[in-house]
Structure formats: C-alpha cells, structure tokens
Amino acid sequence: MDKDGNCGAVLAMQNIANPISVARKVMEETPHVMLAGKGAEQFAYEQGFEKTNLLTEESKQAWEEWKKTSKYKPIINIENHDTIGMLAIDADGEIAGACTTSGMAYKMAGRVGDSPIIGAGLFVDNEVGGATATGVGEEVVRTVGSFLIVELMRQGKLPQEACEEGVKRIIAKNKDKQDFQIGFIAINKKGETGGYCIHPGFTYRTYTKEGHVNNPSDSYLKS
C-alpha cells in the first residue's frame, strides 16, 4: 500500500516464491486491488515470475505427520506462521507499507487470513500513519485491526497507544479465550512507532540512519 492509497494483494496463490512482488504488480499494473488463486498465479507468470515448487521434503513430511491427528491448535509464538509486516517513512514523511505471509499452517483448504485483506493485516493512510499485524488472522479480520489502529491515531492516539487499544479490542471479543497471539506495529507521520501484543515474545525491529534496534514489545498478558 503506497502513500497515495494505492494497494495490491494476492491470496491463495501457489508456486510463486515472492508473492509480495506480485501484489505490487497488482497495484501497479491492474485496475484491481486483489487477485486470488489461479488468476493470481496466471497473472504472476504473465508478469515474468517463475513457477517454483515451494514444497520441501521436510514440510511434506511434517504435513503427513500432522494429518494423522489433523488438530488445528496454534501454539503461541510458534504458531506455524511467518508474517513479515513492514512500515516505511521517507525523508519527506511519506508512508508506505507491505506484509507477506504463508499464513497459518495446517489450516482448512481455502482459508484466507488477515494479511492480504487491506485494512486487516495492513493499512496505510499517508495523512495519519500505518499499521500492520501478525498472529491469528481471524481475530485481526474481526476487528479490521490495522485500519482501526490508523483511525485511532487519526483521533490523536500515539502509535503505542493505538496498538494497545487494537489488542484490547481483540481481547474484549475473546473474554474466555486468550490462548493465541496477536502483535501489532504502527508508525505515525512524525515517524513515531509503537508495538503491542497479547503474549510476551513479540519483537519488532526499527531501522533508522543510526542503525537497527530490536524492540521487545510490551504485552497485554505479562507471562
């Protein structure tokens, strides 16, 4: 998603190593914002991306093993997922963002998480700031989490405060169930950043001219 509110996403796309680059092509080269499944894959080939077999022997064996019980039970911080969310601000204060994921592992065929849904896994409004999410995507979709955080910043909250409120909204919808992880990060027009999560163990990185800093995020639950 760029500073002008242009955005692109691909979902349920197989055989392409870098879907984030295909998402960018959707934004830049099509009148659409989302392409899914075979249509997304076909578009990727048309744009010059190569067909790649992403199934390793190791993950195939792990999947065969999982099928013996077929239990979907994400374990906090090692939930078999891998989202990378990035928010960037340039010297003129222009903001853009991106996120990419394989999604939760061992899910139902056809399941779509939050990451490709603009407003859920990622949102940027260049007048205000940007936010992105990781964790159990269903919960982020239910609160339109990243959009919510940007809107909270529009109302005057700092990125840190907005991320905390975003997590609290999810907690409020899950009073009896907190055995899952969500992490949000956010940035505002001044370049101020924040991050917050449900369970300890979520760390985000900030990159500036001075170098790289790892920021262990504060969490709603303390242990």
Q: Which of 41, 114, 125, 164 binds ligand ASP (CB under 6 A)?
A: 114
Q: Is 104 in the site for ligand ASP (CB under 6 A)?
A: yes
Q: Is 134 in the site for ligand ASP (CB under 6 A)?
A: yes
CB 4, min distance to ligand ASP, A: 25
**Alpha carbon distance 206, 191 (integer Å):** 11
CB 107, min distance to ligand ASP, A: 8
Alpha carbon of residue 110 to chain centroid: 18
Q: Which of 19, 97, 113, 130 binds ligand ASP (CB under 6 A)?
A: 113
CA distances from 92 to 13, 137, 146, 151 (A): 35, 32, 23, 22
Which residues, including other chains, have CB under 8 Å from residue 26's CB and lie 6 or more apart?
Answer: 8, 9, 10, 32, 33, 34, 35, 40, 43
Q: Is 139 in the site for ligand ASP (CB under 6 A)?
A: no
Q: For the window 45-64, what string marks contact with ligand ASP as x by the rule CB under 6 A?
A: --------------------
Q: Is 81 in the site for ligand ASP (CB under 6 A)?
A: yes
User: Which residues are annotated as catalytic?
Assistant: 83
Look at the block and give the residue holding tokens 């022997």. Answer: 57
Stretch that binds ligand ASP, among 18-26, 60-68, 128-136, 170-178 (CB under 6 A): 128-136
DSSP code at position 146: H
195 phi and psi angles, rounded to 5 deg: -155, 145
| Chain residues in the site for ligand ASP (CB under 6 A) | 81-83, 101, 103-104, 113-115, 134-137
